[in-house]
Amino acid sequence: MRIFFASDVHGSETCFRKLVNAGAFYGVDYLIMGGDLAGKELVPVVRSGPGAASGWRATFRGGSFALETDAEAAEFERRVATVGAYTLRTDEEFVRQLRDDQELVEETLHRLVLDRTEQWVALAAERLRGSGRRLLIGLGNDDYDDMVPYLDQDGLDCVGYAHDGLLELDGGFTLASLGWSNVTPWRTHRELTEVELEERLTELEASTDPARTIFNVHVPPYGSGLDEAPRLGDDLRVQLVGGQPDLVPVGSTAVARGIAAYQPLLSLHGHIHEGRGVVKTGRTTVVNPGSEYDQASLLGALLEVKPGKVKRCQLVTG
């Protein structure tokens, strides 16, 4: 069985389209998305003045943009979406409301995330229908629970939700998914304590054959080398040593214990964008493809497995 695995596209239109197209490009049976579909950046595109001919203006990542026509505004929106941000055409009054109300910002971003998720699932279904390939999409800590109905739709045999729990794959393999992280400094939407993670992992391991089990767990194992991220201060600023970010392990101790004890054939992870790599933990091949969504670059892992053996594990970039 051949698999293409990627994670943490965070709203990037380009990365998601590359993920869908990777099925035919690499000739795989399954595309697995490890979570964090949702982006985190809202970009208002503001009417410059009264009247249809007044144009638009926007600020994005330190740059100011004067967009004289609807066509220019549409092109700006397309470019912003490639790297994961969400645009909203609006007026100055609503922008003032956004500045004064963080809850309104979150609600607006949430709605745009759901809209893009719906569009992505429709795109994937159109591209994959009749191909014999299937895209399984899990959630991560930055995702929202109400994205699930868009992923888990009746009648879509080529796109599905990699729900928490066990999912039977072709060839007698089982995908054991857990779309949560340990607690982060940002207190995101889907976080659990290490005790809670361990309890859920124990449930995943029940009544499955390790030689045919593939973990799809959003957070990587602690101390694996796939979980190193910049150390943050109390103000959430990156801490430096010798002028460089001080990298420290931030993965899950419960996940590390679960892999070591259960020894699944393969363990797939995301969450830590800097943690790209492949390691062995006993008999288990542990993978984090990393993420460069903000550069519109899809990082992935091309895998081929048979019962008891990972025949191929290759990190790829698209």
Tens digits of residue pLDDT in 27-59: 999 999 999 999 999 999 999 877 656 799 999
pLDDT of residue 122 exceeding 80, the answer is yes
pLDDT of residue 134 exceeding 70, the answer is yes
pLDDT of residue 269 exceeding 90, the answer is yes
Tens-digit pLDDT profile for residues 202-230: 988 876 899 999 999 999 999 999 999 99
Residue 54: per-residue pLDDT: 78
Residue 52: per-residue pLDDT: 58
Q: How many CB atoms lie within 10 A of CB 231?
A: 15
Residue 187: per-residue pLDDT: 93
Residue 242: per-residue pLDDT: 86
pLDDT of residue 244 exceeding 90, the answer is no
If we measure between CA atoms, which residue out of 61, 60, 3, 12 comes closest to residue 36?
A: 12
Residue 11: per-residue pLDDT: 98
* Domains defined for the chain, CATH in brackets: 2-39+117-317 (3.60.21.10), 42-106 (no CATH)
Residue 205: per-residue pLDDT: 80
In sequence order, what DSSP letters do the residues of the chain get, joined into one string? -EEEEE---TT-HHHHHHHHHHHHHHT-SEEEE-S------EEEEEE-SSSGGG-EEEEETTEEEEE-SHHHHHHHHHHHHHTT-EEEEE-HHHHHHHHH-HHHHHHHHHHHHHHHHHHHHHHHHHHHTTSS-EEEE---TTS-GGGHHHHS-TT-SSEEE--SEEEE-GGG-EEEEE--B---TT--SSB--HHHHHHHHHHHHTT--GGGEEEEESSPBTTSSS-EEE-B-TTSPBPEETTEE-EEE-SBHHHHHHHHHH--SEEE--S-TT--EEEEETTEEEEE---BGGGTB-EEEEEEEETTEEEEEEEEE-
Lowest-pLDDT range, 96-110, 202-216, 250-264?
202-216
Mean predicted lDDT score pLDDT of the chain: 95
pLDDT of residue 155 exceeding 70, the answer is yes
Residue 91: per-residue pLDDT: 95
pLDDT of residue 148 exceeding 90, the answer is yes
pLDDT of residue 68 exceeding 90, the answer is yes
pTM, rounded to two decimals = 0.96
Tens-digit pLDDT profile for residues 76-89: 999 999 999 999 99
